[in-house]
Homo-oligomer: A and B are copies of this chain.
């Protein structure tokens, strides 16, 4: 039976007779003064057997996912239940009083702690939290907490990444022969409002209890998935547009006096965009996001386009008396013939090979080739990156 069900069960059927406040008072006196209850002593009549502690976890919200520190911050509450052999009574003796609410400091509690936590180890809950004590000795404790846990975050597939994080609870000081942690729920109880986090959504969760040497653990696992829309719109899309702009450099004739200004301004836009991107990308060297690799490739190509343009600017300014390099001449002639073929219906019938190739024509031919090559590389890299990331 789940703890919350237990609570409802007890609540519904437990309180039929009328009790007054003096009944409560006399019960408290009996339990704490007469019986001499000591919060330091594990409440088992048999101290040799471990005390069984059941833990379930209600996740309320994700606060932060930090790729550098590899940290996950969550908010939620635990429901911790156990049987206190020393806090039992016969309800009939107290006019049917079958439950008590006590501040958590007034009873023995297991020292349940986050094993993979990040901040100083503090007691769960606060002085203010009250535990529910049933006359049969069952105790339910519901500390509401902010948990900072270490989590192996792999941002390789950013922004389509999925992360698996654990919250591992142990009894910090006791071994498994003193305290044994168990869990009966199948997973983390997710609050209804959880879906509305801005950047992450929870895809699944699970819970297991393990025994590692003398340490008894309960391990809650959540799998979270980044919502990529913001990143696509603000990082990936502009980079793709920029890469396109860059390639179209080769459409600008080399001798118009606009090409170098255009191409270097595109490069400058790359630099400006990197100022935004470098703030948004996970700044970790652990596993390089494929998006970063993609950006680097585009930056490389952008640089190459600029360098080629400067060289072409030098060549196209050559006087026609300087002979065109053989390779360029060959390329230009090949291209000229293609054009002729594709426009055979025109009256142009001059043999393309005879007339001399000018520098300008050669550079134009090179540009046409480079435009197609770059376009190809752009589509192939974009496709590959997206296939890797999205699959």
Asked if A284 contacts B237 (CB within 8 A), the reply is no
The distance from the CB of A184 to the nearest CB of chain B, in whole angstroms, is: 20
Asked if B85 contacts A21 (CB within 8 A), the reply is yes
Of A7-15, A202-210, A216-224, A377-385, the segment with at least 4 beta carbons within 8 Å of chain B is A7-15
A342 within 8 A of B: no
Size of A's binding interface in residues, CB under 8 A: 141
A17 within 8 A of B: yes
Instruction: Find residues 257-271 in chain A having any chain B CB closer than 8 Å to their own CB.
Output: 257-262, 264-269, 271
Alpha-carbon distance between A41 and B23 when the two chains are bound, in angstroms: 10
Pick from B20, B41, B230, B258: contact of A283, CB below 8 A. Answer: B230
Given contacts A260-B252, A276-B275, contact A128 B111 (CB under 8 A): yes
A34-49 CB contact bits vs B (8 Å, 1 = yes)? 0010101111111110
Instruction: Find residues 277-322 in chain A having any chain B CB closer than 8 Å to their own CB.
Output: 278, 280, 282-286, 288, 292, 296, 299-300, 303, 306-307, 310-311, 313-314, 317
Q: Which B residues touch A213, using CB under 8 A?
A: 8
A68-109 CB contact bits vs B (8 Å, 1 = yes)? 111000010100000001100000000001000111001000
Alpha-carbon distance between A306 and B46 when the two chains are bound, in angstroms: 82
Asked if B101 contacts A119 (CB within 8 A), the reply is no
Asked if A267 contacts B285 (CB within 8 A), the reply is no
Q: Which B residues touch A299, using CB under 8 A?
A: 237-238, 241
A156 within 8 A of B: no
Q: Which residue on chain B has the smallest CB distance to residue A292? A: B233
A44, A121, A249, A274, most chain B CB atoms within 10 A: A121
Asked if B21 contacts A199 (CB within 8 A), the reply is no
A390 within 8 A of B: no
Alpha-carbon distance between A286 and B275 when the two chains are bound, in angstroms: 24
Q: How many copies does the complex hold?
A: 5
Asked if B251 contacts A313 (CB within 8 A), the reply is yes
Q: Which B residues touch A111, using CB under 8 A?
A: 128-130
Q: Which residue on chain B has the smallest CB distance to residue A145? A: B120
A117 within 8 A of B: yes
A129, A131, A145, A300, most chain B CB atoms within 10 A: A129
Asked if A129 contacts B38 (CB within 8 A), the reply is no
A355 within 8 A of B: no
Alpha-carbon distance between A38 and B23 when the two chains are bound, in angstroms: 13
A373 within 8 A of B: no
A15, A153, A175, A323, most chain B CB atoms within 10 A: A175
Asked if B21 contacts A69 (CB within 8 A), the reply is no
Given contacts A196-B286, A257-B256, contact A300 B21 (CB under 8 A): no
A197 within 8 A of B: yes
Asked if B253 contacts A313 (CB within 8 A), the reply is yes
Asked if B25 contacts A46 (CB within 8 A), the reply is no
Asked if B28 contacts A42 (CB within 8 A), the reply is no
The distance from the CB of A137 to the nearest CB of chain B, in whole angstroms, is: 13
Given contacts A265-B265, A271-B238, A306-B248, contact A46 B61 (CB under 8 A): no
Asked if A313 contacts B177 (CB within 8 A), the reply is no
Asked if A172 contacts B129 (CB within 8 A), the reply is yes
A331-353 CB contact bits vs B (8 Å, 1 = yes)? 00000000000000010000000
A110-144 CB contact bits vs B (8 Å, 1 = yes)? 01010011111111011111111000000000111
Asked if A21 contacts B45 (CB within 8 A), the reply is yes
Alpha-carbon distance between A214 and B132 when the two chains are bound, in angstroms: 14
Given A23-B47, A120-B126, A323-B346; 19 other pairs, CB 8 A cutoff? A15-B177, A17-B48, A18-B48, A19-B46, A20-B45, A63-B118, A75-B119, A111-B129, A119-B146, A129-B173, A199-B283, A234-B274, A237-B296, A245-B264, A248-B306, A248-B310, A252-B260, A258-B261, A265-B267
